[in-house]
Chains A and B, each alone.
Chain A
């Protein structure tokens, strides 16, 4: 049968699928069996070619004639009851395996046997074997042993085995352990910054969390926190992400080969899952850092049945700046330092409602607050996300698992400025309500189906401006409200076609409806894995994605004032097609090598027209130009996640271009008519990351990054602008021509970390000492151009005469040490 399939793949596949669903239907509803026999007789009487198809159908059925049973269950961390995502389950001796899904659930169809050995493994845990007798569908929940055992750090888990066999490619994961141990600026552990160390994910401006995945824009990343979309994952212009590592359980980033359940963004999906809370005992953890403090409390509501987790953090630079301001009160010429702080709050509750049902409630609320009070003004600027998730897991039977989620998500910014007698208020907002349901159907040991759908209601307020005098004699207002519905439905099958070939085929239908305008997209997704040997797999994937929402963002860093804008009659949805080819290679016992190459084609890309006005503009879409893009590259990653020394080396060679931009409004213009490199078109990107556990009490870590410099749009020429009477005379006015023709000097940096652990009676604590930019490299944060004048005396007058123009480079970090104290009880 496998041979037949390989030869006739496109033709046979849908038939095979139908047969299996049919067979399953019969198996679960025995009264229909006589009907099936009748069908078989009918088929035998058919004439060719119907006969041959029917025969094939029968062969399929016959092939599944052997009695099979299903083992299913949930895999958890024995210490705290957290479900484990991506834990590997292998049945021996058949070597049929699977992994747990995002909810910790697995289902494995196996032939009837007196003895089956199930091996459960997960990175950082001792593998566990359990012997069962398989005479009926069996439920096996597993609690893995306690966490990393530091005395014997070498914890074996054959984690690469499933990775080698999986059809998933172009995937990066970050564990909380990596997030905790790797050095980061100010000791503020940040999972998005660690993602930037993976191949194919160059960062934005230095120190920021922007991600430009495989040549895509920073707005093309779908970031979901417990399945709720996070529209702006940044604090302080992207220097910190909104994800508090203490509360994060798992993070997975897809840069290609997107599974059909994901849609809505072109370049990546970042799926962040929060911890559920310890359901065994009350515990807490936290940290005191240079600029912020964190505290997480978790525990059972009802032991082993329900739990909660509350996690918060807040920066406190503002407390010091206020003290400085108070100390300088009344000092002449002293300008007070503005107030700034941010905070995050994550909460989650989960309840086991019975054997088959589990309910989760989770929420996130975060704000950045910036305030500046002067004698005659009072300026306040705040922005942030709020998300809420209600999730219900239901196990219908050993083969069918469902997850239904209702999410709410809100991003807004507000700027308020009060002058004596006048006030000014500018804000934007995007609000979503999303209902989605996903089914996992482990049809048999060859097919795992996923299907489901979602509908999202979006509400946008773009550039709401209110300004005017207190007495009402003057008032301005602007802004638009939009709404839209985005919907998707998908089906995919993870199919074990043969011992060597695995194929994941999926199809997603998506649509967007806004003010009488509707768009539809058909998004095929295919990924295949061919095992050449036990150690080498070839992988290939193709994915089409549609993006119906667009980020109105200025060049440079992530500003909180970047707003989302829906597709309209004039702004068509963005579209991408990506193919990737790769090879995965298990080297020796501990090393895993992945080499991937990709090509990505982008349609309906947005750029601003020259001199665009993006604030409080009622006709914002006239400020856009629509064009195309493409990118290709090669990524090499080698990693080791077991043993005293863990880490990875990633290298990316990439190119990306955008071009052919045409303004929507005929009156506007776009200066570059050809193709140009976006600022993040980075040719080479190398990262080396290592963590070494010296002993139970001591660990060291280091990261080294090297990347080609980003591009900048610098003026080609200059001219003298005289202006009219009363206006300023500018000797040097820049004349900007082609975009992004200047490449900044190469970027490189070494960061070091030292973790000293203590084990007091009440729990555990550590001192994390980080040295960022260890060899004090001056990397470019931005450059500015400054005319240099010399003084000349003309009679009694001294005048300044321009001499030359200097280019000045500004760096963000010198060598930057920090200490953080973390605790756990």
Chain B
């Protein structure tokens, strides 16, 4: 659907361009007072340490701090008590600033213990914020769904190919997936990144690319098996980001799975995925 909206938008943009002469200008906007909220991002990936990012929101039009240090100071929330309970054990996450050089992600709460590969029992998050408010959430880790095959198809008499990714839906249950597709490396901006459910799919999923790849190119296909709260959260973040003044879109508030007395948005979820690297060959 996004494609249709984009086309509509494209056409409208074209129509506007036809008659445009300085039709765009910057304006001042005064919004009602905004109360800062906590933001939690915590993904439990089996085999990785328990890690969590606790930040806070800012008023939309506030200027950004001038240095990176000030920026981090502004958004990071330190001094909270963060624990994750699982199977009778409680893991306490220590406050600090931790950087994972592989994933290039930073966290300000971390426990050295590794997240167990347990698809049965739930994980419970408990946070007491510096101002004494609570944040709680519960999640489970879903089993990863294997990628059946990656098919590279060249057009006849052409040097460019497309890449098709096949995998099987799990029958008789409602499933949600996130698909990521990268070219060259995982640090690049993904060519495709979206979440979908399985309501149209009878048994086989297939995701395809455009005819953009030459022999020797490297692509990464990733299929995350996600739960409904993460699906809602991810989609709401994407909708919020893309509905920014688009007359064809409807904004979405962030849909999160966190409770407690604190004013909070964010996500606490398990993270399992299947990732395949493919070198395009004729």
Mark A residues whose CB is within 8 Å of B: 205, 237, 337-338, 340, 370, 372, 375-376, 379, 381, 415, 417, 419-422, 465, 467, 469, 473-478, 554-557, 559, 561, 608, 610-612, 615-618, 667, 669, 671, 712-728, 730, 733-738, 741-742, 745, 778, 781-785, 801-814, 816
Contact = CB atoms under 8 A, between A and B. Distances in A.
A813 B200 contact: no
B252 A611 contact: yes
Contacts of B22: 814
A475 B201 CA distance: 7
A611 B232 contact: yes
A172 B201 CA distance: 51
A616 to B, nearest CB: 7
A812 B16 contact: yes
Given A420-B155, A465-B200, A783-B27, A338 B247 contact: no
Nearest to A556: B247
A415 B8 CA distance: 12
- Give 7 nearest A-B pairs by CB, closest first: A784-B245, A476-B200, A725-B103, A717-B57, A555-B250, A671-B253, A719-B57
A798 to B, nearest CB: 14
A628 to B, nearest CB: 20
A419 B3 CA distance: 13
Nearest to A619: B199
B87 interface: no
Interface of B: 1, 3-4, 7-8, 10-12, 14, 16, 19-29, 31-32, 34, 36-37, 39, 41, 43, 53, 55-61, 63-64, 68, 75, 102-106, 153, 155, 162, 180, 182, 186, 189-190, 193, 199-202, 204-206, 208, 210-211, 220, 222, 224, 228, 232, 235-237, 239-241, 244-255, 265, 271
Contact of A237 (B4, B8, B189): B8
A734 B186 contact: no
A717 B186 contact: no
Contacts of A618: 199
Contact of B58 (A615, A718, A724, A742): A718
A716 B235 contact: no
Given A618-B199, A735-B265, A814-B19, A722 B53 contact: yes
Contacts of A784: 244-246
B237 A782 contact: no
B11 A730 contact: no
B39 A478 contact: no
Among A372, A715, A733, A745, max chain B CB count under 10 A is at A715
Contacts of A778: 23, 25
Contacts of B43: 724
Contact of B23 (A469, A473, A745, A812): A812
A809 B24 contact: yes
Contacts of A802: 64
A611 to B, nearest CB: 4
Contact of A370 (B11, B28, B247, B251): B11
Contacts of A422: 208
29 contacts: A370-B7, A381-B4, A419-B208, A465-B200, A474-B204, A554-B250, A559-B8, A608-B250, A611-B255, A714-B29, A716-B32, A718-B57, A718-B58, A718-B60, A719-B57, A722-B53, A724-B43, A725-B186, A726-B182, A727-B180, A728-B193, A735-B265, A781-B16, A802-B64, A803-B64, A806-B26, A810-B23, A812-B19, A814-B21
B250 A337 contact: no
A801 B69 CA distance: 12
A337 B153 CA distance: 29
Nearest to A667: B228
A443 to B, nearest CB: 52
A726 B23 contact: no
B240 A742 contact: no
Given A721-B41, A722-B105, A724-B271, A237 B12 contact: yes
Contacts of A745: 27
Among A417, A465, A805, max chain B CB count under 10 A is at A805
Given A719-B37, A742-B29, 5 more contacts: A422-B208, A667-B228, A721-B237, A726-B186, A808-B26
A741 B34 CA distance: 12
A417 B6 CA distance: 14
Nearest to A799: B68
B244 A469 contact: no
Contacts of A803: 63-64
Contacts of A469: 206
A716 B64 CA distance: 15
A632 to B, nearest CB: 24
A557 B14 contact: no
A469 B210 CA distance: 15
A715 B29 contact: no
Nearest to A561: B4
Contacts of B206: 469, 473-474
Given A611-B236, A716-B60, A735-B254, A420 B211 contact: yes
Nearest to B182: A726
Contact of A557 (B235, B248, B265): B248
Contacts of B75: 719-720
Given A616-B200, A719-B265, A742-B31, A556 B24 contact: no
B32 A476 contact: no
Contact of B190 (A555, A671, A727, A814): A727
B204 A727 contact: no
A574 B26 CA distance: 41
A727 B57 contact: no
A610 B265 CA distance: 14
A338 B11 contact: yes
A785 B222 CA distance: 31
A611 B239 contact: yes
